[in-house]
Amino acid sequence: MKRRMKATIAYDGTNFSGYQVQPQQRTVQEEIEKVLTVMHKSDEIVHVTASGRTDARVHATGQVLHFDTTLSIPLDRYAHALNVQLPRDIRVLNVEEVAPDFHARFSVHGKRYRYIWSCESVQSPFRRFYATPTNGVKPDVSAMKEAAQYILGTHDFSAFCAANTGVKDKVRTVEAIEFEWHGEELHMTVEGNGFLYNMVRIIAGTLWEVGTGKRISTELEGIVASMDRSKAGKTASAQGLYLEKVYYPE
């Protein structure tokens, strides 16, 4: 009997060419599909569907995927059964059975991302793949918070979307942008109903330019309204970004 499973996973994106399968590249999806295919003794690949892709070097602490299984492994052993075969930079945190119409991508209600800058004058060697170094620059977080107010709400986010994506409808709702210092690291969390390609990294890069005095916070109003990618700031680097949580209807 087929069961639809929802898996919550974490991965260290450092050594992956992103989430999605690409020929000749090491990807998160391929590693998981390899293990599932072996476990199912299947001639065809057992496919998994994620809430969305993540780019090379981007991390996840709460990515969600679904797949269909014919195995009778008890639910409370399923994560362990996967983890013993998966490489150690991917961990399955939880596996649950869901309704057959649950879809990891189409059922998404919202997502939360985290972006981390390490503002120590010398970045800890232990953080070199896990936060974006600022070489000791400490931004004006209150200016970043002010600027973030113009991003909140429902807008056409074309100005915050990498060019050349196939997506037509670029209207999204950003529910919350929050900042918190953890020692000398600045964390920004962004929550919304959906995100365009590179959207969080462009938000991070643009707010960083406000925090470091290259832009003033009120500029954000015009940037959002412009729907023009060239008006926004640089795309912040991938290594500071984490997909933290995917929300589904209860």
| For a second copy, the closer CB: 56 or 93 | 93
First-to-last C-alpha distance (Å) of the chain: 25
Interaction between residue 132 and a second copy (CB under 8 A):
no
Interacting residues with a second copy between 6 and 45 (CB under 8 A): 10-12
* 115 is annotated as contributing to ligand binding: no
| For a second copy, the closer CB: 125 or 249 | 125
Interacting residues with a second copy between 107 and 126 (CB under 8 A): 122-126
Number of residues forming the site for a second copy (CB under 8 A): 20
Interaction between residue 90 and a second copy (CB under 8 A):
yes
Find residue 37's DSSP bridge partners.
none
Among candidate residues 12, 43, 55, 169, the one labeled active-site is 55
Q: How far apart are CA 221 and CA 210, in angstroms?
A: 13
Write the CA distances from 176 to 13, 34, 41, 116, 151, integer angstroms. Answer: 25, 37, 44, 16, 9
**Residue 157 identity (one-letter amino acid):** F
Indicate which single residue of 88, 106, 166, 249 sits in contact with a second copy (rule: CB under 8 A).
88
| For a second copy, the closer CB: 51 or 118 | 118
Q: How far apart are CA 104 and CA 92, in angstroms?
A: 15
Q: Exposure string (b/e) for 111-132, b if CB count within 10 Å is 16 or more? A: bbbbbbbbbbeebeeebeebbb
Pattern 206-245, binding to a second copy, x per CB under 8 A? ----------------------------------------
Interaction between residue 83 and a second copy (CB under 8 A):
yes
- Cα–Cα nearest to 152, from 55, 213, 217, 245: 217
DSSP designation for 235 = P
| For a second copy, the closer CB: 36 or 147 | 36
Min separation Cβ 41 and a second copy, Å: 25
| For a second copy, the closer CB: 90 or 200 | 90
Interaction between residue 128 and a second copy (CB under 8 A):
yes
Spatial CB neighbours of 36, under 8 Å, sequence gap ≥ 6 = 46, 48, 67, 69, 82
Write the CA distances from 245 to 23, 52, 190, 192, 194, integer angstroms. Answer: 28, 12, 11, 11, 12
- How many contiguous H segments (helices) and E segments (strands) does the chain have? 5, 10
55 included as an active-site residue: yes
Indicate which single residue of 130, 157, 160, 208 sits in contact with a second copy (rule: CB under 8 A).
130
Min separation Cβ 83 and a second copy, Å: 6
By annotation, the residues acting in catalysis are: 55
Question: Which residues participate in the annotated binding site for substrate?
Answer: 113
Site residues, a second copy (CB under 8 A) = 10-12, 59, 61, 79, 83, 88-93, 122-126, 128, 130
